[in-house]
Structures are given as structure tokens and as C-alpha cells.
Amino acid sequence: MERVSIPALSRIAICGGTHGNELSGVHIVREMQRRQIDKVGSASLTTVLSNPRAVQVCRRYVDTDLNRCFSHEILSSPITDSTQYEVRRAQELNAQLGPKGSQEAMDLVCDLHNSTSNMGLCFIADPSDWIPLHIYKYAKNKITSVPVTMLQAEDIRDKSFFLGSVGKHGLAIEIGPQPHGVVRADIFNLMNEAVELTTDWIEKFNSGFTFEGGEVDAWIIVRQVDYPRDPLTHEITAAIHSHIQDKDFCLIRAGDPIFSTFSGETIKYEGEELAPFFVNECAYYEKKIAFYLGRKITLTIPSISVKRE
């Protein structure tokens, strides 16, 4: 099997609070800062509270979604008196963790998120980036208490608008269900375990351990589905049907119920066999997304080891 040598990951960033009301990452970062954890073996570790103003008011964002502000266009836009707070903050983070696309950027940016959806432990990354795929493979073999999945990032890396794209390698860890503005011990502990496995993997990789390749499953987004809406007011007219509520990554087929209207009717699914995820995500109501639909694919990844100078 193909074997690839990759430079050591000498500078790591773990970020929480990119969305200020997703509290597992907020408290993990604060705890790491309290304990003054600044090393992963021989690698330096930077911990960042990404959106401190949003964390302070326990809201997803102040002006706009920070995790959509890391495109090259936004990062290079001029700052004026009317610039939104999250755009300013994105440029600050790019200066601290990047610059994006440069040799000075962090080797890995790991961004911690919570979902109100029943996502279990979900890794989100570029499918062509071997580092996060191997971290996912490693964690999936270690964690058996919940489903562990990989979701392919929606956009190609050089055009990505997510925080993780600022680093040479980027990884988002998404765990749910957890209500926004709330911290649950089971979800916090699961995220903490995922972070520890990530740092364990990095330490092993940097020390010269070879991680064997093979096949890994990943989910790709096919399309997004909005709620049924009133044609005049554009208000939603239905809720997620119990048949798919809390059934993220479970296949649905034509004829399966997906919405219950407020007038008592059932709306059924039409289309090819796919799986919904981010089902009834609270933050996606404003984005007009009831859930995503996707399919599972199999990726073949090479064995990797650290490149020696």
C-alpha cells in the first residue's frame, strides 16, 4: 500500500466558542487554559476562545456567523467603522493562526462544535487531507460508546470559509445532541475524549509511529432540505417528523415521513435513498435548512509517517 511522509505537526491550535453558545468547546478551552496546557509532546499548543463577545452573551454570533468568515475574500477585505465584529475577529484569528495558505500557518487547527442534532461524534474535514482522516480512523477504533462518523466538508479547501481552513490541516469536531447555551456532562466528556485522542494521535505521529492506511467511510452532502413554508408569509408550516427526528445518518426511502404539518398532515419523502443529518439543528432555522441529505462513500487513505529532515 502507498506510504506518504508528511512534515511533523509542530504547531497545533484547539479552538472553542467559534459559536458562542456551543459550550463544550468553550469549557474545554477554558480548562486547558486554566491548566496551562501548551504542549502536545514536542509540539506547541495554542488554545483559543474564537468568538469571545458571542461567548460572553451566550449567542451563536454577534453580527454574523464567524465560521463562514474565513474565505480569502473576507480575510482580505478592508476594515471600516461599519465592519461586522466577526469579520474583524476572523482577520485577527487569521493573523494569529495563519495567515491562511502560508508556511507560517498552524500545522493543525482543530475547531470544537456542538449540534442540537443527534450527530454523535462527527469529524468534518477535507477528504483529500490525510491528517484529519487518519485522526478520525484512530478515534473511530477507540470510541465505541457512540457512533463516530466523518462528514466531508462542503467546499474545496482553498475556497473554504471555515475556521479550520486557516491551518495547513483543518479539523472540526461536531458533537450532539446538546442544546445551545447548555453544557451536558456526557457530551462534554465525549468531546474531551475526542480532543485527547486527537492529541494522542499527533504525539504518536510526531514521534515516528507509522499509521497504516486502508478504507474509511465518509458522508458527502447531496443537498439541503428546507422546511415547508407558507407561500405568502414564508413562515414554516411543519416540524420534523418523529420518523427521522434523532435519526441522523439513518437512511430514508421514498414514502418515508419527513415532516408533520401544524395542520396535522404528513409530508413524505420523494427521491433516492439518502440519509439526513443535522436534523432539526436549531442554528439552521435561520439558514432555511431542516436537514442535509447525503450518502456514504468509501475513501482509501495511504499509510502515513512523519517526514524526517
Distance CA 191, CA 175 (A): 7
Residue 101: predicted pLDDT: 93
Domain at 101, CATH number:
3.40.630.10
Residue 308: predicted pLDDT: 80
Distance CA 150, CA 86 (A): 27
Q: How far apart are the first and last CA of the chain?
A: 23
Written as nine digits, the cell of 164 is: 479550520
Distance CA 102, CA 106 (A): 9
Distance CA 289, CA 244 (A): 15
What's the whole-number mean pLDDT along residues 194-220? 97
* Statement to judge: residues 200 and 51 lie in one domain: yes
CB 305 within 8 A of CB 207: no
What's the whole-number mean pLDDT along residues 90-111? 97
Residue 39: predicted pLDDT: 94
CB 28 within 8 A of CB 188: yes
Q: Which domain holds residue 246?
A: 222-296
Residue 213: predicted pLDDT: 95
User: Does position 155 have pLDDT exceeding 90, yes or no?
Assistant: no
Distance CA 274, CA 139 (A): 25
* Statement to judge: residues 139 and 246 lie in one domain: no
More confident residue, 115 or 1: 115
Which residue bears the cell 515516528? 208
What's the whole-number mean pLDDT along residues 199-227? 96
User: Does position 309 have pLDDT exceeding 80, yes or no?
Assistant: no
* Statement to judge: residues 136 and 274 lie in one domain: no
**CA-to-CA dists, residue 37 to 32, 54, 57, 181, 228, angstroms:** 5, 24, 26, 25, 48
What global pTM score does this model have?
0.96
Domain at 274, CATH number:
2.20.25.160
* Statement to judge: residues 40 and 189 lie in one domain: yes
Percent of the chain with pLDDT over 90: 94
Residue 153: predicted pLDDT: 78
Q: How confident is the model at residue 1 (pLDDT cuts 50, 70, 90)?
A: low
Residue 2: predicted pLDDT: 81
* Statement to judge: residues 110 and 257 lie in one domain: no
What's the whole-number mean pLDDT along residues 92-104? 97
* Statement to judge: residues 174 and 148 lie in one domain: yes
What's the whole-number mean pLDDT along residues 113-121? 98
Residue-wise pLDDT for 256-296, tens only, equals 999 999 999 999 999 999 999 999 999 999 999 999 999 99
* Statement to judge: residues 189 and 285 lie in one domain: no
User: Does position 206 have pLDDT exceeding 50, yes or no?
Assistant: yes
* Statement to judge: residues 236 and 210 lie in one domain: no
- Give the residue among 71, 74, 53 at the shortest CA–CA distance from 62: 53
* Statement to judge: residues 238 and 207 lie in one domain: no
Written as nine digits, the cell of 15 is: 479552538
* Statement to judge: residues 232 and 126 lie in one domain: no
Rg (CA), the chain: 20
* Statement to judge: residues 262 and 136 lie in one domain: no
**How many domains is the chain partitioned into structurally?**
2
* Statement to judge: residues 155 and 262 lie in one domain: no
CB 257 within 8 A of CB 241: yes
